[in-house]
Amino acid sequence: MDNHKNVPFLDLVTPHVELEAELTAVFRRSLHTASFIGGSMVEEFEKSFAAFCGTDDSIAVSSGTDALRFAIMACGVQPGDVVLTVPHTFIATTEAISQAGAVPEFVDIDEQTYNISVEGLEQYLEEQCSRDQSGKLISRRSNRPVTAVVPVHLYGQMADMDEILRLAEKYGLTVVEDACQAHGAEYYSRRLHRWMKAGSMGSAAAFSFYPGKNLGACGEAGAVTTNDSRIAGKIRMLRDHGQAKKYYHDVEGYNGRLDAIQAGLLHTKLAHLAQWNARRRELAAEYNRLLAGNDAIIRPWEPSWSRAVYHLFVIRTSDRDGMIEHLKQAGIGTGIHYPVPLHLQKAYSWLQYKPEDFPVATQVATEIVSLPMFPQLTATQQALVVNAVEAFSERAEIESVSLA
C-alpha cells in the first residue's frame, strides 16, 4: 500500500486556487496603495463580518487567541479573577484567560454536544462557590472571585446559550463566546424566539481565521464581535498599543492589529462562507445517513435548537487508535481534537486537577476521531471514508465476538 493520500484530512489548496484571480487582486490593491496594516480593507472586512454575524460591530485583530484575550479584558475581567471554561477545547481558550491575568477553572462537558454542561455549570455555581461579605461570588477551590464564563462552540456547534446566559445573569457573570470554530453556526433562542448567529449572544465573542477554520486567512487573523460600543472601543485600543489617537496612550496595549492583505483575503472569502457552511452541513448529513447503522461508533448529535457548521466531524469509538491506523492504511487522513484535555496537560499541572474531576472530558478524549470534513470533499472521497470506517467496525466486532 503506498502512502498517497486518497482522502486528505483537509484540503486548503483547492479553495484558494478556485478563487485565485480574486485573491491575487487583493495583493495588487494592497501593493498599489501601500496600505499594509489597518485601513480601508480592514474596515470593509469588519463591517461585512459584523453583518454576517448579526452584530453591531466587529474588530479585526491578529489572531483568535488575541481576540479572546482582548474580549476577556475589555469585558471587565480583572487580574486574579476566575474565568470558567471547559477542559475539552484547544489550549488557546485558557491561554487567553491566563494572559488576561485571570485564572481558568473548569466545568465538565456534556457527553452529547461536547460543549459545556449546563448542569455542571449550575452545580459549580451552586455548590463550589460562596459569597463574600460584599456579595461577590468566590470560588472555594481558589478563593478568588468568579466573574466570567467562556463557552466554546466546539466543532462548529453552539453551546446552549439560553441556559448559560440565564445562569450568568443569576450569578452576575460576563459571557465571552469562544466562537473560533463556529463562524455562521446558529442557535434557536427559546427566550428571544429566533435564530441567532454564533458570536451575537455573549457580551463579546472571539473568532479565529487560522487557515483551517471555516473562514480562514492566508496567515494569522482573528476578530471580536460585540453589540457593545464601549467594549468595541476598548478592543480597538488594546489591539493598537492602547491608543485611540496616535502616540496618546490611555493604557498599555498590545500589537494586535490585522494586516490589510489578510482582511482583504478574508473579505473575498467571506462571500463564499454561507455556501461552504451549507456544503459542510450536507456532508455531515450524508455521513450521518451512511453511518447510521453502525453501532460501533457514536455520531455527532445536533439538538433541535442547533444548526452546526461542522468545523469538524467527530465520531467516537472504543478502539480509536485502531480506527485511525486502519484509515491511515486506506490513505485517509484523520485528526484528534483533542487528545489530552486541558486539566491533564503538563502546562496546567499547577492547577492540580485529577482525571476524575472531569470524567466526561477525560473519557471522550480517548475515543474521539475527526473524519475528513471540508467543503471540497467529494462524494467519492466521502464514500471511501465511510467504507473504511465500516470495514474497521466490522472487523472490530468480529474480534470482540471471538474474544468472548
CA 119/CA 128 separation, integer angstroms: 13
- Contact residues for 94 (Cβ-Cβ < 8 A; gap 6+): 85, 104, 342, 348
Residue placing its CB nearer to ligand PLP in the complex, 31 or 347: 347
Strands 174-178 and 204-208, by their bridges, are parallel
- Contact residues for 171 (Cβ-Cβ < 8 A; gap 6+): 125, 129, 137, 146
Contact 146, 137 (CB under 8 A): yes
Residue placing its CB nearer to ligand PLP in the complex, 94 or 393: 94
> CB count, 10 Å around CB of 347?
11
Residue type, 183: H
Residue 24: exposure state from Cβ atoms within 10 A (0-12, 13-18, ≥19): exposed
Give the interface with ligand PLP as residue ranges (CB under 6 A).
Answer: 63-65, 89-90, 92-93, 152, 178, 180-181, 208, 210, 222
Residue placing its CB nearer to ligand PLP in the complex, 179 or 291: 179
- Identify the three-state secondary structure at position 125: helix
C-alpha grid cell for residue 217? 486567512
Residue placing its CB nearer to ligand PLP in the complex, 35 or 208: 208
Report, in Å, the least distance between residue 212 CB and ligand PLP.
8
Question: With the C-alpha atoms ordered 301, 181, 43, 176, is the resulting torsion angle positive or negative?
Answer: positive
Report, in Å, the least distance between residue 182 CB and ligand PLP.
9
Residue placing its CB nearer to ligand PLP in the complex, 208 or 294: 208
Report, in Å, the least distance between residue 331 CB and ligand PLP.
26
Report, in Å, the least distance between residue 164 CB and ligand PLP.
16
Residue placing its CB nearer to ligand PLP in the complex, 212 or 322: 212
Report, in Å, the least distance between residue 217 CB and ligand PLP.
9
Residue placing its CB nearer to ligand PLP in the complex, 90 or 124: 90
Residue placing its CB nearer to ligand PLP in the complex, 177 or 240: 177
CA 82/CA 379 separation, integer angstroms: 46
Report, in Å, the least distance between residue 214 CB and ligand PLP.
10
Report, in Å, the least distance between residue 395 CB and ligand PLP.
33
**What residue number has its CB nearest to ligand PLP?**
64
C-alpha grid cell for residue 320? 480509536
- Identify the three-state secondary structure at position 54: coil
Of 311, 355, 307, 376, which is closest to residue 337 (Cα–Cα)? 311
Report, in Å, the least distance between residue 203 CB and ligand PLP.
17
Residue placing its CB nearer to ligand PLP in the complex, 68 or 327: 68
CA 395/CA 393 separation, integer angstroms: 5
Report, in Å, the least distance between residue 337 CB and ligand PLP.
8
Residue placing its CB nearer to ligand PLP in the complex, 180 or 324: 180
Report, in Å, the least distance between residue 258 CB and ligand PLP.
11
Query: What is the 3-class SS of 292-358, one letter each residue?
Result: CCCCCCECCCCCCCEECCCCCEEEECCCHHHHHHHHHHCCECCECCCCCCHHHCHHHHHHCCCHHHC
CA 146/CA 74 separation, integer angstroms: 16
